[in-house]
Amino acid sequence: MKVSVQAVAVWGKIAPSHSITAVMITDDQQTIVTGSQEGQICLWDLSSELKISSKEILFGHTASVTCLAKARE
């Protein structure tokens, strides 16, 4: 069975002022995590209808976020 996936823009009609350099989706597929060239990490809620809404933005990195990984239990 072939599954079709539509493209999703995480910022709507106007692109954010930061450049996304890394993307990760959580195991439960309900949260997208993005890293940016400016050192920010953004959390996005992803609904089952593929609607994305911003959740949190984390500041503090002094360099670009170029890689994301989940922590082990």
Q: In this predicted model, what pLDDT tens digit does every residue of 10-38 receive, in sequence order?
A: 566 665 566 889 999 998 889 999 998 88
Dihedral angle, C-alpha 57, 60, 62, 63, nearest 10 °:
-30
Which tokens in the block code for residue 20? 């996304």
Q: pLDDT band at 2, cuts 50/70/90? A: low
Q: pLDDT band at 47, cuts 50/70/90? A: confident
- pTM greater than 0.75 (yes/no): no
Q: pLDDT band at 4, cuts 50/70/90? A: low
- Whether the per-residue pLDDT at 5 is higher than 70: the answer is no
Q: What is the Cα–Cα distance from 50 to 5, expressed in whole angstroms?
A: 10
Contact 45, 52 (CB under 8 A): yes
